[in-house]
Amino acid sequence: MKTKFWTVDRNAELSTSYPQITQAAELLAKNEVVAFPTETVYGLGANAFSDKAVQKIYEAKGRPGDNPLIVHISDHSQLNELVTDIPPYAEELMKAFWPGPLTLILPKKEGLSRYVTAGLDTVAVRMPKHPLALAIIKSAGLPIAAPSANLSGKPSPTLASHVAEDLDGRIAGIVDGGPTGVGVESTVLDCTQEKPVILRPGGVTKEQLETVAGSVEVDQSLIEEGHAPKSPGMKYTHYAPASPLTVVYGSPAFLQILVEQKQLEGSRVGVLSAKETALSYKADQVITCGQREDLESVAASLYDALRKFDNKEVDIIYSEAFPQEGVGQAIMNRLLKAAGHSTVSESGNNGK
């Protein structure tokens, strides 16, 4: 398959009449698959009502069929096509955080592709904040199912070049709108219960949600074998670089000891660190992902940093752990999934 490429300046005053937008939207309307930027990561879009279109997402990504997709909309009115009921607290959350990196799980209407919901009676919906994403969805005239535009299991793409690296020749088109902003995926909130429950931490923090919805719970349970996940990112290992990754809880000095031990065994070792501590490590490769004092900068560059290791010929990667406050919850969620929950702790509480 020949993949078409378009470039749009995200800072330009966008219009659905832009040829790059109309051409991408036309492909979506024809049940083809097109990648485009959102404010979180690049998404791989398809007509949410078409089984044929949505199947192409799974085929391109190599994504498991029981992993549901998020439906993206450009206007609140499109919810009428997708859901049967919206609790009052969900309405308030939409007013506060849409457009933005918040996905709400609600009871679904009939008509959606069965592959979008993975057989569940709910659907995950969000309105992206990126002006290019909104323009493409509006021009297509359809709700668009769009997981991250990467091969399943690899780090999510925050640049169009990441998408091309994984999916060139596998999808109909890629719209390059420059780097994304937030860098980690949306927060996923189950709104089918009396109190909202966070199923996946993301760009909107628990603290921010609670300013609007009051008490918000966090789903801490692991998905049991055979249990269908209600949200993307709950069941499978995600975001992983090619080399094994371990998250280290402890001081830079402790992490450096681990590096030296592996080097003595003949391994090439990579370290993922904050900028403040990068000079603490004498590893074969040290890649930074933002500043510890600015966790939003870590989130924005995390996936790009993980992808860089794939070109560095390392045998093992150690990553610093980050504070689990605010967006740090999402950062650690992604790092632990990338590591398959392989951890080492200076205190001796190691696990996997």
Q: Which residues, 6+ apart, have CB-to-CB distance to 139 below 8 Å?
A: 16, 21, 22, 24, 25
Q: Which of 322, 292, 166, 306 is nearest to 244 (CA)?
A: 306
Judge whether 125 and 79 are in contact, CB under 8 Å.
yes
d(CA 63, CA 77): 30
Residues of the chain above pLDDT 90, percent: 86
Query: Residue 85 has which token pair?
Result: 């009921």
Domain limits, the chain = 4-218, 245-345
3-state secondary structure 294-310: EHHHHHHHHHHHHHHHH
Strand extents, DSSP E, 75-230: 102-107, 122-126, 144-145, 173-176, 187-190, 197-200, 217-218
Write the single-letter amino acid at 54. V
The pLDDT, as a whole number, for residue 221 is 55
Q: Which CATH architecture has domain 4-218?
A: Alpha-Beta Complex (3.90)
What pLDDT score does 333 carry?
A: 93
pLDDT tops 80 at residue 12: no
For residue 121, give the 3-state DSSP assignment: coil
Beta strands 144-145 and 42-47, pairing class = antiparallel
Q: How far apart are the first and last CA of the chain?
A: 40
Q: What is the rounded average pLDDT of the residues 197-222? A: 90
Query: Using 50, 70 and 90 to split pLDDT, how confident is the model at 102?
Result: very high
Residue 225: pLDDT band with limits 50, 70, 90: very low
Q: Say how many residues make up the chain.
A: 352
The confidence score (pLDDT) of residue 226 equals 38
CA 142 from chain centre, in angstroms, equals 22
CB of 58 within 8 A of CB of 171? no
Q: Looking at residue 17, what is its pLDDT? A: 72
CA gap 280, 179 in Å, rounded: 29
Do the annotations mark residue 40 as ligand-binding? yes
Report yes or no: 47 and 56 within 8 Å, Cβ to Cβ.
Answer: no
Q: What is the pLDDT of residue 247?
A: 98
Can you say how many angstroms the Cα of residue 149 is from the centroid of all Cα atoms in its chain?
9
CB atoms within 10 A of CB 341: 14
Q: Looking at the domain 245-345, which fold is it?
A: Rossmann fold (3.40.50)
pLDDT for 237: 57
Q: Do domains 4-218 and 245-345 have the same CATH topology?
A: no
Beta bridge partners of 49: none
Q: Tell me the C-alpha distance between 124 and 190, whole Å.
A: 9
The pTM assigned to this predicted structure is 0.91
Q: Quick one: pLDDT at residue 85?
A: 95
Average pLDDT over residues 46-51: 97
* Beta strands 343-345; 102-107: pairing state: unpaired
Contact call for residues 15 and 130 (beta carbons, < 8 A): no
Rounded Cα gap, residues 304 and 300, in angstroms = 8
Judge whether 24 is annotated as a binding position: no
Q: Are strands 197-200 and 70-72 parallel, antiparallel or unpaired?
A: unpaired
Per-residue model confidence (pLDDT) at position 239: 82
Annotation-wise, does 146 bind a ligand?
A: yes
Please state the rounded mean pLDDT for residues 43-68.
93
Asked if residue 239 belongs to a known ligand binding site, the reply is: yes
> Known binder of ligand: residue 114?
no
- 67 annotated among ligand-binding-site residues: yes
Counts of helices then strands in the chain (DSSP H, E): 10, 16
Tens-place pLDDT, residues 251-279 = 999 999 999 999 999 999 999 999 999 99
Count of CB atoms situated within 10 Å of the CB of 310 = 14
What pLDDT digit, counting tens, does each position of 299-321 carry?
Answer: 999 999 999 999 899 999 999 99
pLDDT for position 350: 60
**How large is the average pLDDT for residues 75-102?**
97
Rounded CA gap, 179 and 193, in Å?
36
Q: Say if residue 122 carries a ligand binding annotation.
A: yes
- Confirm or deny that 318 is annotated as ligand binding: no
> Does residue 99 have a pLDDT over 90?
yes
pLDDT tens digits for range 140-152: 999 999 999 999 9
Contact 145, 44 (CB under 8 A): no
Strand extents, DSSP E, 250-295? 269-273, 285-288
| 340 has pLDDT over 70 | yes
For residues 271 and 317, give the distance between their C-alpha atoms in angstroms, rounded to a whole number. 6
pLDDT at residue 13 in the model = 72
130 is in an annotated binding site: no
Using CA atoms, how far apart are residues 186 and 60, in angstroms rounded to an integer? Answer: 22
Average pLDDT of the residues in 68-89: 96
Percent of the chain's residues with pLDDT above 70: 93
pLDDT higher than 90, residue 286: yes
